[in-house]
């Protein structure tokens, strides 16, 4: 039988979803010109915050609910003179564990489901219409407006790169960017349900998608600051973004009325695109947070393989199933408790 792997959630992915949802809800939701869309962002941020707190509580509760000592004691005593008495005690202990862990699992599953099902409207038709309006106005754009569009596009690339730096915590910000992308690594352990010697060590390097995003910003910084790619650091990327913001503000001051209309439409498109920007982080958050609930589900199904329509009391009424469930709780519960203790220590960390 293949040992179950208790998968540790990917913290940078979780953190990125939190940051994006929080930023969009608290900062940019007020800029979305369609009020209902801004409210959707706020609801998503609230759902993620509630899910974070719930999972933190679940990770803390599980180790206290699985009573190894009691179950082990009853398993040793059920073969003695008072075996029937201890069978009843074992059944009560297992039923209590099943009921309490099932309730905890439901809390966890429900919160993740709430994040997954927060409505994020399809805005593709709105964006298509606004884009057509902008294209009609943009046919005879002066050169400075074209430069402004390029500056804004460059700023978006810088924003994306800085976000990757802030959420991929093991990237060294003091090294030159190119060197940091190649040398930054982190190591994690994934625990199986067998003994400690079966622990699997996983080494992560900076993902290629993250490298590509940061290297795009690197080229922009090299052009704006007039320095070589090889010496550019994280702080240079931040300085480049500041320079771009200043240049954008200067050019916006000299726009004609027609150009201001184009700019207003662009602002609308960007504000609506915020919704699309949270879709993938939301999916990733659900996937990673779901690893916690899946671990609890595995424990329950392994320790208590109850048939459809069967109650826990009916399942435990059979002596062999009762003993098997007790042994399974000890064997499957130990790695789950280790897993919960390990994850709970860093679950709410921001860095």
Of 264, 262, 260, the closest CA to residue 138 belongs to 262
Instruction: Work out the average pLDDT over 114-128.
Output: 90
Distance, C-alpha 258 to centroid of its chain? 42
Judged by average pLDDT, the poorest of 21-30, 160-169, 188-197 is 188-197
Neighbours of 69 (CB within 10 A): 8
The residue ranking higher by pLDDT, 229 or 222, is 222
Strand-pairing partners, residue 190, are: 200
Instruction: Examine the pLDDT at 188 and tell me if it is beyond 70.
Output: no
Average pLDDT, the chain: 85
Instruction: Examine the pLDDT at 136 and tell me if it is beyond 50.
Output: yes
Q: Is the dihedral of CA 160, 163, 165, 169 positive or negative?
A: negative
pLDDT at position 115 is 95
The residue ranking higher by pLDDT, 199 or 321, is 321
Of 213, 210, 220, the closest CA to residue 240 belongs to 220
Per the CB < 8 A criterion, the answer to whether 94 and 329 are in contact is yes
Instruction: Examine the pLDDT at 300 and tell me if it is beyond 50.
Output: yes
Per the CB < 8 A criterion, the answer to whether 49 and 130 are in contact is no
pLDDT at position 315 is 92
Provide the token pair at 244.
Answer: 């771009």
Quote the pTM value.
Answer: 0.70
Render pLDDT for 92-108 as a digit per residue (tens, 0 to 9): 999 999 999 999 999 99
Provide the token pair at 284.
Answer: 């990733």
Of 75, 64, 66, 59, the closest CA to residue 97 belongs to 66
Per the CB < 8 A criterion, the answer to whether 199 and 255 are in contact is no
Render pLDDT for 306-318 as a digit per residue (tens, 0 to 9): 988 899 999 999 9
CA distance 110 to 46: 14
- What percent of the residues of the chain are helix, what percent strand, and what percent coil, each to the nearest 5? 75, 5, 20
pLDDT at position 1 is 45
């Amino acid at each position: 039988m293949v040992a179950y792997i208790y998968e540790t959630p990917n913290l940078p992915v979780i953190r990125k979803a939190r940051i994006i949802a929080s930023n969009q809800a608290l900062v940019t939701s007020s800029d979305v010109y369609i009020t209902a869309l801004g409210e959707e962002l706020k609801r998503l941020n609230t759902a993620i915050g509630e899910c974070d707190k719930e999972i933190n509580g679940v990770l803390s509760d599980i180790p206290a609910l699985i009573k190894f000592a009691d179950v082990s004691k009853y398993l040793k005593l059920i073969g003695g003179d008072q075996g029937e008495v201890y069978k009843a005690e074992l059944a009560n202990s297992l039923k209590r564990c099943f009921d309490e862990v099932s309730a905890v699992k439901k809390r966890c599953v429900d919160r993740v489901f709430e994040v997954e099902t927060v409505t994020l409207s399809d805005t593709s038709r709105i964006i298509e219409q606004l884009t057509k309006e902008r294209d009609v106005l943009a046919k005879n754009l002066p050169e400075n407006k074209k430069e402004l569009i390029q500056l804004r596009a460059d700023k978006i690339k810088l924003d994306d790169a800085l976000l990757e730096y802030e959420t991929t915590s093991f990237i060294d910000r003091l090294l030159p960017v190119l060197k940091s992308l190649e040398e930054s690594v982190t190591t994690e352990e994934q625990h199986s349900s067998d003994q400690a010697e079966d622990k699997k060590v996983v080494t992560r390097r900076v993902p290629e998608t993250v490298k590509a995003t940061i290297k795009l910003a690197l080229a922009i910084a090299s052009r704006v600051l007039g320095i070589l790619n090889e010496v550019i650091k994280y702080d240079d990327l931040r300085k480049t973004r500041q320079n771009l913001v200043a240049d954008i503000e200067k050019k916006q001051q000299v726009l004609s009325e027609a150009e201001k209309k184009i700019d207003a439409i662009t602002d609308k498109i960007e504000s609506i695109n915020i919704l699309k920007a949270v879709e993938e982080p939301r999916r990733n958050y659900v996937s990673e947070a779901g690893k916690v609930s899946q671990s609890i589900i595995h424990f329950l199904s392994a320790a208590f393989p109850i048939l459809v329509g069967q109650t826990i009391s009916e399942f435990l009424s059979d002596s062999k199933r009762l003993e098997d469930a007790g042994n399974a709780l000890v064997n499957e519960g130990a790695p789950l408790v280790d897993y919960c203790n390990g994850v709970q220590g860093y679950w709410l960390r921001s860095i």
